[in-house]
Amino acid sequence: MTITIPKYNWAVFLNDLSNRRQAWDIRIEILNEELGDQILESDLPLVGFSCERRRGKYTVEITVGHDKNDHFTHTVVDPAKLRYLAAHGDIAGVLEFEELNGTKTLVHLSRPATAAIERRPEQRVAVT
């Protein structure tokens, strides 16, 4: 199910998502008719999302990486829409930021591989 997030709620939504999905694996993908589809980053842990509004325009930053010396920040300037596709299969959710020119930034969220293994009860070993 895809949910469109109202602009007035972007900062709260992204802050909450940052808290709930911190350290989850992220893939950032750009869809643009002129440049084609590009994957900017893949399989890096989420540090967080930030959303600011200045002079009526929103700026969203997506930061991923392992520490302050090894990180990447992608900035979406003045997105027009924000949609969230809830969890399905191995994907824990997808954010879609759409700009006025039609460019889309997709942020795929996945559970870290170690967390997925820990959650499978059939793979737990009983210690006696």
- Torsions phi, psi for 87 (to 5 deg): -50, 140
- pLDDT at position 75: 95
Read off the amino acid at residue 127.
V
- pLDDT at position 91: 61
- pLDDT at position 66: 87
Distance (Å, whole) CA 82 – CA 97: 5
- pLDDT at position 76: 95
Could you tell me the domains of the chain?
Answer: 2-123 (2.70.180)
DSSP lists the bridge partners of residue 13 as none
Distance (Å, whole) CA 62 – CA 26: 10
Per run of 10 residues, the mean pLDDT along the chain (length 128 residues) is: 93 94 93 91 93 92 88 93 82 89 94 57 38
- pLDDT at position 125: 39
